[in-house]
Each structure stands twice: as C-alpha cells, then as structure tokens.
Chain A
C-alpha cells in the first residue's frame, strides 16, 4: 500500500511545487552522449550527479517530476527501514517516515541538490548491503566506503561527502562492538578524506549556494537513518514495547495529523523562496505571456529592477510603452538594463532579449556568452544564442550551438528541427522572429568600449540614448526605438530629451503625443524663455488640464515638492508628473 505521505507528496509536487519551475530555476545541465557522461563520471560523486541531472530533466513535465520525487521518497523510506532493521535487528515502521521527512521537505526547495535523493538511496542501499555482509571485515567495509564515496558521496561537495561517509560509518558501527565500531567510523571518515581529493575542481560546474535551511535538511536526510538506528540501540525497550494496535479511527487521525504537520512544515520551508518567484517570472517571459506579466507584476508591491524591466518589456511588446509607462512602478535603471546586471540566468536572459529587441545582437551575444561561462550550457541561454546568431546571419555559429542543444533531452527535438530547417534554408527566413529582429537591427558600426572597473565589473562607456538615437537615424520609422528613447529620458527625469527628439514623431507616423511626453513638454514649456517646437503636433486639452492641476497643487504647498508629493501621487496617479515629483524628492 502506498504511504499517505507519498500520495501527499505527489499532489504537493505536481500542484504546489510545480517541478517545471524547479527545472527552470535549478535544472542541471544534461546532455545525451558519451562525452558528457565521461566528463561527469570522472569525478567522485559523478554517477549520482549524472543520474540526478538526468532525472531532473523530467522536472520539465510537472507530473513526471512529481512521480520521480515520489519514487525516490518511497525508496528512501523502504531502504531506511530495511537498513535500520538490519543493523538493529528491530523492525520499526516509524523509521520509514522519519527518513522520508527531510526529503519531502527538500522537494519544495528550489535550491536543493537534484542528486540528493539518489545520494540518500545510495547511502541506505550501501548500509543495508553492509549489514547483510559479514561484520568486522575491514576490507569489505573499506571497499564499500570507496564505492559509496565514488558513486554518490561527492555529489554534494566536500561537506556532503563527509556527512555521507560519516552516516555510513555510524550505521555500520551500530551493529558492532566498541573497538570495531570505532574502526568502522574511522575507515569511513578516512575514505571521505581520500575521496575529497578527487572531487570535481571548482569552476567546472557553477557552484551551488543553497540556503541554510536547505543545507540542514540535506544533512538531516543523510543522517536520519543512523540517528534512528542509534536511538533504537540506546533505548531498545521503547522500540520493543508492544503498544496495542490503534483503531481505524485513531489511524485516520494519526495519518491526517501527520500529513497536516508535514504540510505545514513543507509550506513553511517552501514559502516565499526568491528563486521560485523569479522562476515564475522567467516562465512568463520565456513564453512571452506579456499580458500575464502585466497582470501579475502590476499588482505586486516592492518590485526590483528586473521585475520592473519585465513590466516595461511587456508594455513595449503590447505597444503601450509610450502611453502607460507610469501606470506601473518605474526605476531609472530598469527600462534599459545596464551591462553590469548580475551574471545570473534571469538577468542575462533579459539583457540579451533587450539588446535583440533594440537591434544590437552583438551586445546580446556578449551578455549570453558571459552568462554561459557562469551557468554552464543552460538550454534557454543556448536557444537565445542560436537566435542571436541567426539574427546576425552567422549561420555556422548558430549550427554549432544547435548541435549542442541537440543532445538536450527537453530541447533536443527543437534543435534537430531547426538544424533540418537551416539545411534547407541557411538564411533562416523560415523564422518570422528572426526576420522581425533583423528588420530592426542597427546597421551603423558604432564602436563601444567595455572596460573593467576597479571592482572587476564591466561597464559600458556608452549612453543608451545615443545608441537609440543612432538606431532611429538609420531607421526613422522604428516606433519601438522611439518609445524606448523617449521613455529612457522620462525615467531618468530628463524632460528636455523629449523636446530634443520631437522631430522624430512624424517619421514614426505619429499624429498625437502620448500623455507622458505631453507632461514632459509642458514641464519644459514652463521654463521661462523656453521655445518648444512641436513639429506640427499639438498637446491635448487633457494634458493642459493635468498641468494646471499639478500647478495648483504645487502652489497650495508653496512650491515645496517634498510636501506636495503625496497629494500629487493621489491626484495624478500614473502620470509623468507624479513620477518626476517622486524623483525630485528622492522617494
């Protein structure tokens, strides 16, 4: 009969955790073929890492990911019960649940090692096997220690290796007499020390930095079985006490209670993980569900620059950037991300998309190549790189990355199809997105400097507005570039820039001025002696009315922006006037 906890785990994973988001945020690289396998299996812990990476690919499909987790949980519980029974000579059912509990909780963690379930399975299977073999045989024990260290021990780094071997040593020691028990533990620890020399060198894979709670749960999972075994050995009478079997009602209450407690714990452990929130946003961006982006993020308070960038991108894709920019929260650095954004998957993906959208595939390539050096061959970044090279017309380079992607379980089919299409049509004209991005690509070869700052971060000695102006000079009808250019001036609190660029509106076929631009023009008009050329366009009556209301509010506070700011925010919400006031008061 299936454990109720396992059934709960399936439902929890499939519906609440959603393994596809874990795949997006924490999915390890896996490639079909001997080269990848050889590379992985050459290190201590490589087999578990390799198998864990393979199983983690199934997370791409929620139900498959949930099923894999359930199977591993079942195996962990069953093996823990068998191993503990073998070393203590007592069958105790609660061991199964206690051993499974940390794994159940880890299933909701987005920063958990994908190989951790396999590590526990390997450890418990080895312990069970050890118990079945003749005791006090040092060579047998040492051989099992080595096998355990190689297959699973190093899959979670040096600390994981020590904990795994210590756990194995302790389990083996439970069944032994005093000196033999000490020898078992020492042999296991010595093996960990030796095997530690053969861990994968840092830098081969992106280092994992899990949260403290994830690390604690990982070690709890690895140490659960020896803890149970030790407890049974220390208090055998409690384990042996024959309690009367609970009634059906009592059992139901126990099961419901246990599930409720686990649910509560899992909720606490899994709640509000930044990686999960980011993965949800990444999923929307990758699927280009721009309306969803606006709906979900528009309501959230305290958004960071990357989230605001998502909103702005969604507005741009929906053609609402000019009109609705200030209906959502804004930050000066969010609209056009600087090159110095963190070298993470999420940030670099957006950076690349931004540059592709703004006609600068060389900068997109730069952002992606740098990200790959940190994230490994992340398939989503590789797909963007393929797109970038296709936009640039570098078909051979695109093919190279497609051949890498061909080995990916999830994205391999797409890559093979792209390769087939490219063989028929090397210009990639079959892809409307490529054609669209090419149409907006910059043609003038401006040179751009990349320098290191003293902190080692890269900066771009280039003004984005100059870059956008150049793009518009080459393609005067590119409305998207104009929207970005004007918006960039506005979010940086520079209404004078809008005045400078007014001559471009006709070229983009615009017959009316968007409301935020009107606000900027009116602010500039209020400067004594200012002469503003509207290039045949007119400011609407609503624009003048907004300015008058703003003027009245300002006058009522004696021109003090700091005191008038709350009133402007409530009277003129979602306007450039409110944003500009906030910017001036430093809010």
Chain B
C-alpha cells in the first residue's frame, strides 16, 4: 500500500497540474465577428510595462478560453473564470516585453449550447516607450459639503496594487487635495491638507522628509490649492481659490462651483516663503491652473478678466459667460522674477473656457481642457481635452477625441517620457471619474483611451469612488502613511478664521 502511494501521489499531482493548463478547443466554429469585451480593450496602443488587461467577455456562454499572442514570445492561453479572462502577470509581462513595437492578438473562444465558437481576433499594439511605473490620485466618494472617507493613493501600473499615501481620519486630515510632484519624482512632492481642528497647511516632501508650510501671507487669505513644481525643484507656483459651490436646479450634473476670487503665489521650497507676484495677479484678473514649462522659463495658466464688481462674491448669473484664456508669463530663474504675459489661446477663438494647461516634459505639446464655461471643468457638462502643438504659431487646439459627444474628461497629466497621457473621465456613468490612459506619439497621433486595468475587469462596474488628479510618478512613493500623518498631527491646531467648503 505504501509503495503504491509513493507512485500514486506524484502521478495525481502531475495530472492535477497538467489539467490546470488551459488548451485551446479544437473544431470551433467561426463567429464571424469580434467578441464584445468589457472594458473595451481593442485597437489600443498600450505601454510595454502595463498591468495585464484583464477583460470580461460579454458574450453568452458557459466556458471561456482565450489565446494572447504576438510575433515573438510564447503565447498565453487562459481559461476564463466564468466570463472573466485573467492573464498571469509574469507571463503577460514577458509577452509584452518580447513584442514591444509590435501587435498583440487576442483570440476568444466561447462554449455555448452548440459547442465552441471562435471570435475574430482583437488586436492591440504594444508601444516601445514604457509608462511611468506609478500613478498617484485622490480617491473618494462623491460628496458635497460633508466629510467623507478620502485619501491620496498610489497604484503600481505594472501590477494591480493600490496603497494609501495619506487618508482622511476622524482625527488628523479632514481633507487632502491638490497633490503635485516635482518632475514625477516620488521623493519630492506636495499636497494640501485641511485638518480636523482647522489648520490648512501645505505638506512639502523633499528627499522623503515631510514638513508643513502655511502658504497664507495675510489674514483671510486662502491657502495654496493647485500646485506646479518648477523643474529645478526650487519653487512652487500655487493658486489661491475662493471656491463657492452652487447648484443647478435643472439638468445634469446638478452641482457646480466657481471661483469668487483667485490668485497665484510663488512659494520658495527651501524657506517656505510665499509671495503673490503682481505680474501674475494684475487687477481685475482671476488666474488659476498654473503649470511650468519644462525649461522653467514660462508659467502657463488660465485666467479671465472679471466682469462683475469685486464686492460680488457669488456671481451666479454671470457664470455661463465666464471663459478663461490660456496665457503664459515669462520667468527668470536667476532672479526669480516674472516678466511679460502673453495670450497663448484666447477663449473667444475656441468659444470654450481653456483650462488645466499641462505641458509635456519634452516641451512639444500642451494639453488643455476645453469646457463649456467657468473654471471648474470637473463639474461642467461639456469638458474635453485638446492638444496644442507648441512648436507652431498660432496655437491651435485639436480635440483628442473626434467624437461629437463629450467625454467629460479633465485632470490630465503627462508621463515623464511625454508619450502617455492620463486623465479622469466621467463618460462611463456621468458621475464618477475613472482614470484613462492614452498614447500620444511623437508626431502627435493620439491613441485610443483605455481605462486603467484592474485585476477584476468588473471592478469599475459598481465602484462608488471617483478618481481625481491622477499624476504619473517614476517610482513608488516610499514615505510611509504614518510619517505623513505624524507631520500633519504636529500641525493640527484650531484656526477659527477659516470656514471651508469641501469639494
């Protein structure tokens, strides 16, 4: 008996292991069309280091198989977990690395009542250029004026791991927002916090060590919000926004916001000294959404000239007519001084509010959000991204999506190699944003946008969290959450001067 067991056990183990390897069915009939997939991962250009594009086959059937192959490397054959196709991470990365610059083909087989059916191949292209390894974003439930669990999170783009950088707690930060990285460096970044007792510090992390800075220079002033790091890492330009929330009584989305006032400030990273340069804040103008050019000699931002009296703090009726221009102001890094301002793209030329300028790290491209009105495209019923070639004059904004319907796409950011763009897009459900990636080729050819892959392809179907300000980072942020929380904990003190509206 014992001798028999000695042979039988390895045999059973081998049989079990072999039965686990998926094989393709033979004699399948042709469906004559491509399969329906969710998410729609087809005709894409994907980074060679992206996490597996797991999909759900939206076709009726009982058993599912798929073969992913390229002109090089060993093909992957997977068996569906139900209709879900999950690709093993290591094999996936090997296959993508072997096929960088080439196409990948996905063949889907579905077994229904009448046997196996083979669907037409789905093709995706693997780009040569990789995407930055991590994405940092704010992740929270949609809320209006009450506190809700929210936090800054990072996601490993080569896998599926999401980890918290800093979260709101009942004690500690009440809200964290407006994070920004210096040149995509994971050890140098900033974010704003609103603490339980009322403090509103900016957290500056340099060399992995956090410290807090109060960016207000006078009583009643708003703290820093939207932030951009100078390429040298010596300065930040931040916006101060007097944000007011309001509601539309009809139509969607219901909520909206406006800036009653806004200004731009320069923060010296070393000393934390903050000034509001008059060149950026001429009387009557409202600047916002600052972004440095990669050479550090221009500051791009959106601004518009207020057409209501300064004492009006809630110009609701005027909002539909508010359109921001895209402008830039020269900067001399030697003297830390701003110079002349010039218009890059006037709102009247595109009949849209030109917002959220982001210059590609190679200085060639600039992507803006074109919104129907106002300065809060995230709440705007029509908001789409457009690409501007900075090497050509006059500037011309070309929509990234040629469709007539709006994608409600905002908060875009470039990868460090200027080949990948990430954005927060609400087109799936009209309410909650999802991170979408797309390839921008050196000649300006725009790839099809695709949603950030998840281990479970149904992940977004019932996810009630929204993604806000996704930013590429070149590596994992290594500062532990407790270190950031501790830095904020030291800062938390009552600040009766402030009564904030959460957005």
Contact = CB atoms under 8 A, between A and B. Distances in A.
A443 to B, nearest CB: 6
A303 interface: no
Interface residues of B, number: 42
B250 A397 contact: no
Contact of A441 (B246, B250, B464): B250
Contact of A397 (B141, B149, B168, B431): B431
B167 A450 contact: no
Contacts of A394: 252, 430-431
Contact of A445 (B167, B251, B430, B462): B251
A447 interface: yes
A393 interface: yes
Contacts of B146: 343, 370, 373-374
Interface stretch (A58-66, A258-266, A402-410): A402-410
B462 A450 contact: no
B441 interface: no
B15 interface: no
A373 B147 contact: yes
A377 B499 CA distance: 28
A449 interface: yes
A363 interface: yes
A1 interface: no
A351 to B, nearest CB: 13
Contact of A366 (B141, B144, B462): B144
- Dominant secondary structure of chain A at its interface with chain B: mixed
A448 B250 CA distance: 11
A203 B247 contact: no
A449 B432 CA distance: 22
A35 B167 CA distance: 20
A406 B461 CA distance: 11
B429 A362 contact: no
Interface stretch (A130-138, A246-254, A292-300, A453-461): A453-461
A432 interface: no
B499 A456 contact: yes
Contacts of B63: none
B317 interface: yes
B145 A444 contact: no
Given A365-B254, A373-B141, A448-B247, A396 B428 contact: yes
Contacts of B456: 35
B319 interface: yes
Interface in B246-274: 246-252, 254-256
B317 A447 contact: yes
Contact of B249 (A202, A204, A373, A445): A445
B245 interface: yes
Contact of B149 (A203, A363, A366, A461): A203
Contacts of B251: 362, 445
B252 A393 contact: yes
Contacts of A494: none
B40 interface: no
Contacts of B168: 203
A360 interface: yes
A451 B501 CA distance: 7
B250 A362 contact: yes
A373 B175 CA distance: 14
A369 B144 contact: yes
A399 interface: yes
B244 interface: yes
B249 A201 contact: no
B254 A363 contact: yes
Nearest to B245: A450
Interface in A171-212: 201-204, 207
Given A204-B149, A452-B145, A363 B500 contact: no
Contact of A447 (B144, B247, B431): B247
B294 interface: no
A437 B250 CA distance: 13
A373 B148 contact: yes
Interface of B: 141-149, 167-171, 244-252, 254-256, 314, 316-317, 319, 428-432, 456, 461-462, 464, 499-501
Closest 8 CB pairs of A and B: A362-B254, A202-B170, A373-B148, A403-B462, A447-B316, A448-B247, A445-B250, A397-B431
29 contacts: A202-B169, A204-B149, A207-B170, A362-B247, A362-B249, A362-B250, A362-B255, A369-B142, A369-B143, A370-B146, A373-B141, A373-B143, A373-B147, A373-B149, A374-B146, A394-B430, A401-B464, A403-B461, A404-B464, A406-B462, A445-B248, A446-B250, A448-B249, A449-B244, A449-B245, A450-B245, A451-B501, A458-B144, A458-B145
